[in-house]
Structure 1
């Protein structure tokens, strides 16, 4: 399974998506409309033409599912919390949201609340009741989704790392209710840590998806997250450029994969693998960046397949080199993921991207 998040604030059009490289497209984002107790497109009103064009991608891939993702980083936690902690609001929200999904021909709902109890990562911000009642909420949604024809699907984006997850989630409830559990195993690196770090390290990503399985979530529902962007820092000392090197602050070179690839191929940046064949980093002068290349995507997706996990989630597909900015094929990261998951297509060696 390859879940492709597609952001509605980007300039790319639905027609630029290759639906043969995704099993699901998650439209990001909708928000909670607390006045009408339903989801609302973050652009303020239903984007009916966009919805129609996304659903039309099924003509190229009849098995494709197009789902709505509600929430996202920075979405007001209080709106989620009010709904999940009220039986009456839960009931109304579920009924209203089913009507919305069916009206616009979506296949289901993805909940991206970051996070129950631990609002925007602060575990003292939300009420402890969020945890139990979020579990009740997703179980109630699942029960009503099962009654629909065709049946609607339910997923959730969840935090990587057990410290927050243990406080935020009833593992038994989410394991039973969700069709897939999308672990956001990226954005690990923070400027506030004062040192370089890979933003989606191979070993830690694997450990965090294993953590959900160890807590009782069925393995075939757990998906590993990958990111299609680079994260940069400014080095304190340009001669110290490994993982863990001291930094002055954020860098100036964040960008999509095609941009990062081009820095190596065309602008003299040095590329290294920071963890025994994993976790690419690049640097030039005092600029430093971590990212995942097609080889890293293949390694992660092959691990997922070989170990019986549910699949991969991608943030965000328009950040791939979809216009052959650097590589000789379009969508090299998506192609590498499909090669690892299904053995389809060609290996990353044939993509014409930057060196391994």
Structure 2
């Protein structure tokens, strides 16, 4: 009888797994998803304004890499120390909250390639990263190298970065594990990755992921105001073959050998605007003059202005604003686009979401609340 029941269950499981494509299977709502907020240290830290109960991790940005050593931001040692102490105080509200230091960033990634070039330099780099973690009593390290093997903000890069990046992560993981044995603590190691195929192609993410707890994909900045054409900057999907999108970034990372459950999707707490936009198709994908980036708290002022019409691109699963009177186009993240992204995350079994940057949300925490509600919605 037990054999018959087991056989029946196996047949049922096979039927359901074959009867529906994998993309339609939804991860149970009980799964614990990561909600990772980046906090820019130069903007200060006010613990009373941080909703720690809605976050699982905070990545404090940034530490720099100078002369091969991980060090506090230039001239900000005391500020960083004070800010991180304030962030650690949030554990009184959420004891499970993890605080990490994010190392690098767009402008502070210039020292990485040299720092990891040799076995000796990687040892020096690793020791300094561990010292930083101990000094600030952190739960882990987040490496935001923009980018290994690929140009970022005029940063040095080499073909050798591909291998050296992995060796760096291996060195750090081993050092964290050794420290963890002493402290009876597990320390996290994570990275932020480019949300575009060129980044994936020049790196060995399948090997790198072996030494990482999860990977935060920067699925935003797909376009910018430096471009003479409007477009979406943090779209989930795209109708353009080979175009940039969060979905394609996930597909590329998985194809490179990263388990999907280790992938965390990025959400932008800011938008981008163009002026002098050609009015065709409500300004979408039209010639224009780049204006500037806007934090979401300022975009909410546009949303209250009747001259800005709320638009939704169903092909890209992305929100945008069109001001016909002033010929202004705004690409931005909204509760509607967050709904689609988190549905995708649950559908694919991803690890969760991260966002840049906490201070750029509205005072009422519109976007963080949208993330919280969607993550916890069955």
> TM-score band (shorter)?
0.7 to 0.9
The residue that corresponds to 1:299 in the other structure is 340
The residue that corresponds to 2:228 in the other structure is 194
8 Å CA contact 1:182, 1:313 repeated in 2: yes
1:262-281 residue pairs with structure 2 within 5 A? Answer: 262-276=301-315, 278-281=317-320
8 Å CA contact 1:27, 1:67 repeated in 2: yes
How far apart, CA to CA, are the structure 2 residues paired with 1:121 and 1:92? 24
Shift of 1:240: 5.2
8 Å CA contact 1:206, 1:224 repeated in 2: no
How far apart, CA to CA, are the structure 2 residues paired with 1:237 and 1:119? 32
Structure 1 residue 61 corresponds to structure 2 residue 100: no
The residue that corresponds to 1:113 in the other structure is 145
Shift of 1:91: 1.1
Aligned length: 331
- The DSSP-based 3-state class of the residue aligned with 1:199 is coil
- The DSSP-based 3-state class of the residue aligned with 2:43 is coil
Which of the numbers 45, 51, 56 marks the counterpart of 1:23? 56
Of 49-58 and 297-306, the range deviating more from structure 2: 297-306
Structure 1 residue 166 corresponds to structure 2 residue 197: no
8 Å CA contact 2:206, 2:257 repeated in 1: yes
- Which consecutive unaligned segments of at least 5 residues does structure 2 have? 1-33, 238-244
How far apart, CA to CA, are the structure 1 residues paired with 2:90 and 2:345? 26
- The DSSP-based 3-state class of the residue aligned with 1:9 is helix
Shift of 1:11: 4.7
Shift of 1:154: 0.6
The residue that corresponds to 1:250 in the other structure is 290
Name the larger-Rg structure: 2
How far apart, CA to CA, are the structure 1 residues paired with 2:283 and 2:312? 10
TM-score, normalising length: structure 1: 0.87
The residue that corresponds to 2:217 in the other structure is 183
1:80-229 residue pairs with structure 2 within 5 A? Answer: 80-120=112-152, 126-147=157-178, 148=180, 149=183, 150-167=185-202, 169-203=203-237, 204-229=245-270
The residue that corresponds to 1:14 in the other structure is 47
TM-score, normalising length: structure 2: 0.82
Distance 1:313 1:280, change over 3 A: same
